[in-house]
Amino acid sequence: MRIKPSNGFIARPERLARLWGLVSEWMRRRFWTTSGACQTVALLSGVLLAMPVTLMPRAAASEPPLIPREVLFGNPEIAAVDLSPDGKRLVFLAPYNGVLNLWVRDLDGRSPARLLTRASRRPHDPAGWTADGRYLISSRDGDGDENTVLVRIDPTTGESVDLTPAKGVRAMLLAADREAPDELVVGLNDRDPRYHDLYVLSLRTGAMRLLHKVQDGRPVSVMHVDGDWHPYLRAEPLPNGGAAYELRLPGETTWRPFQRFDFNDARMSGPLGFTRDGLWLYGALTTGEDRPRIVRWHRDQLVRCGSGMDCRSELVHRSNAGAVGFALSDMETGVPTVLVETDLRSQRVVLDDAVQPDLDALERLAGDASFSILDRDRADRLWLVAISSSDRSAEYWLWDRERQTSRKLFALQPRLEQYALAPMESLDLKARDGRRLPAYLTRTTLTAEGPQPLVLLVHGGPQARDFWGYNSMHQLLANRGYHVLSVNYRGSTGFGKAHLLAGEGEWYGAMQDDLVDAVRWAVDAGIADPDRLVIMGASYGGYAALAGLTRDPQLFAAAISEVGPANLRTMLASLPPYWAAGRAMFERMIGVGRVDLDAISPINHVDRIQRPLLLGHGANDPRVKLQESEAIASAMAKRQLPIDFVVFPDEGHGLANPRNALAMVALVEAFLQQHVGGRAEPFGTAISDSSLEWRLRSLPKR
């Protein structure tokens, strides 16, 4: 086993993971995120209070040019590239009439790319190839309500067929296998909105047959073995937030106990999947330890366990970091060949020396940038690789393992090359109780002496994390004259079990303390101007922004919140039915039953707000209802507190339409310039080109 510093993540190779990962990751990143390029933004602007804004003098000649919003947040030149199983074609997203659509082209580039779709209002979702390369599978989510439809697209003709056309149903792609290239296993909550029954879907005819009916809310995993699909693993969410797993191996007719985890371990422990021959079941465990370890169980052991014998596992790797996952697996056997451990940065753990020469070559190609293996052909000869860094946008490369040669294919956003971007620094900060706070800082690119305005950009989740790498919002703010700080507060994932569990019941408490402590570190270090601090975020990050104004009313000069819950009681009451499986765990992390939800809901502390707020929401948000933002906007307006409130009637939990995203970025710029100084690009047509409805306004017209 060889451990080597990694220049970045290496994507899981399974075609199902790639195919569905393209779709689901694109959907997740429609809303504000700081763990990568920010796809969208929405906020609220406030009235200028009676507090002076003193900008540090700068020599205009030394200031870098404004990077246009369109370059940072508009359509990329190309994105979401996927390699066909035979290694001969690429499918990708690229603009058509100003909207991202699907295109396909031959890998050799001898013929022009062919347009497959003609979306005109919202960008098309990415697509992935089926195992035989005959079709592309994508999805559609009309107006952000997350009721997704799976779509089959012919890569030659562009013919599109809805595979799951039922309205009000959330379709999920659950399994695919190269031995059954004409079939997919999909989950549909059409019978009961809480649960996804499993169906085998014929890609050729569209016919579906029921594979497994979920009667008790226990999600089921399936594998393809002996010519058919077999449900082999069942998970039961426990009332205390834990999880219990049951097995039913091929040839067995009843479910039997396998593994049981309490709340402390359930988030980071569980089975991960079988190898292709069905001999080994891999999993991750944190029982008795803070950091995860990768283990595996042999089929012979699984046959015996559950009948009075312990299911003893074999250790594959004990992680040296707070998170570990599969990076590459053998294309024929499915046995993992490379793992990735992740902390502030990441490192590879090579389990099979056969891939080491390729990884070394890619390391040399990337230099001081990061590389990610996005996809591979079925022969495992061609690798689709992305190379990027915190101060450069991504490039797509093709690596030929047989010839040991590389070829640049595309640049994600080549217009960025003409601008000076800011590098992101990795930091290890300390909370007031001594807890480690992994964080990232991007300093402004404007030349200035002394402390500068700082924006605290809070990630959502909250069981998520910030990563090192290129981040559009960090770059925008740094270019406009602000330092940007992102903190992995307690309750964030990726830094071990103790760090995650330390967030239990600490909304509005220690989780918020961590954010405050990080900001005060920046002030004490002479980095941040204490009179020009801003807190902003989306989803949980939006909640943290509201908490910043109500809990620490004198600390922040302004706040920006997108789709942030203001009232935890109403938020919990309106969660989508399909959250049922994870609801107990979510409620326990908030502290339901042990903390006073009213006391930690910002809506109940509106009278403490003294500083401007910019508030934004998608009207169709199924996770945090529009009423959350309406309530706090109404309460602030009644008290004549400074607020701007904007709504997008065609969006959900974030902004999918680039025109809407650009409008919100324009508001962010104007809001920050109005209240803490800095630069801003004029609105231009950004607002009028969007669907933005300005419910409450205090920003001057521009």
Reduced to 3 states (helix: H, G, I; strand: E, B; else coil), residue 284 is strand
State the first-to-last Cα distance of the chain, in angstroms, to the nearest integer: 60
Own/partner pairs for 27-31, CB < 8 Å, 24+ apart? 27/125, 27/139, 27/141, 27/146, 27/148, 29/654, 30/144, 30/652, 30/653, 30/654, 30/655, 30/656, 31/460, 31/538, 31/539, 31/562, 31/563, 31/653, 31/654, 31/655
- Reported as a single tens digit per residue, the pLDDT across 2-57 is 333 333 323 333 444 444 343 333 333 333 333 333 322 222 222 222 222 333 33
Q: Report residue 539 as tokens.
A: 């989803």
Rounded to 10 deg, the angle between the 658-676 and 472-480 helix axes is 40
Residue 59 confidence (pLDDT):
39
Residue 142 confidence (pLDDT):
67
Per DSSP, the residues of 469-491 read: S--HHHHHHHHHT-EEEEE--TT
**Contact of 611 with 643, CB cutoff 8 Å:** no
Report the alpha-carbon distance of residue 290 to residue 484 in Å, rounded: 30
Residue 555 confidence (pLDDT):
98
Report the alpha-carbon distance of residue 627 to residue 235 in Å, rounded: 33
Report the alpha-carbon distance of residue 409 to residue 395 in Å, rounded: 8
Q: Which of 539, 561, 601, 690 is catalytic?
A: 539
Q: Which residues are registered as beta bridge partners of 648?
A: 618
Cβ neighbours for 85, distance < 8 A, ≥ 6 positions apart: 15, 129, 131, 132, 133, 178, 377, 378
Q: Report residue 50 as tokens.
A: 């009676």
Reduced to 3 states (helix: H, G, I; strand: E, B; else coil), residue 54 is coil
| Residue 141 annotated as catalytic | no
Report the alpha-carbon distance of residue 394 to residue 370 in Å, rounded: 9
Report the alpha-carbon distance of residue 168 to residue 166 in Å, rounded: 7
Nearest Cα neighbor of 13 from 469, 274, 384 is 384
Residue with tokens 């029982």: 287
Strands of 270-274's sheet in order across = 270-274, 280-285, 293-298, 314-318
| Residue 459 annotated as catalytic | no
**What are the chain's domains?**
43-70+420-696 (3.40.50.1820), 77-412 (2.130.10.120)
Nearest Cα neighbor of 297 from 264, 253, 249 is 249
Per DSSP, the residues of 568-596 read: HHHHHHT--GGGHHHHHHHHHHHTTTTS-
Report the alpha-carbon distance of residue 390 to residue 108 in Å, rounded: 30
Q: Which of 196, 224, 474, 653 is catalytic?
A: 653
Nearest Cα neighbor of 498 from 339, 288, 240 is 288
**Contact of 31 with 459, CB cutoff 8 Å:** no
Reduced to 3 states (helix: H, G, I; strand: E, B; else coil), residue 4 is strand
Report the alpha-carbon distance of residue 279 to residue 501 in Å, rounded: 34
- Amino acid identity, position 312: R
Cβ neighbours for 288, distance < 8 A, ≥ 6 positions apart: none
**Contact of 199 with 179, CB cutoff 8 Å:** no
- pLDDT < 50 regions, the chain: 1-61, 308
pTM of the full structure: 0.89
Residue 1 confidence (pLDDT):
41
C-alpha 383 chain-centroid distance: 23
| Residue 539 annotated as catalytic | yes
Cβ neighbours for 521, distance < 8 A, ≥ 6 positions apart: 429, 430
Q: How many CB atoms lie within 10 A of CB 60?
A: 6
**Contact of 624 with 570, CB cutoff 8 Å:** no
Q: How many CB atoms lie within 10 A of CB 630?
A: 16
C-alpha 127 chain-centroid distance: 17
Q: Which of 621, 629, 644, 690 is catalytic?
A: 621
**Contact of 519 with 533, CB cutoff 8 Å:** yes
Radius of gyration, alpha carbons of the chain? 25
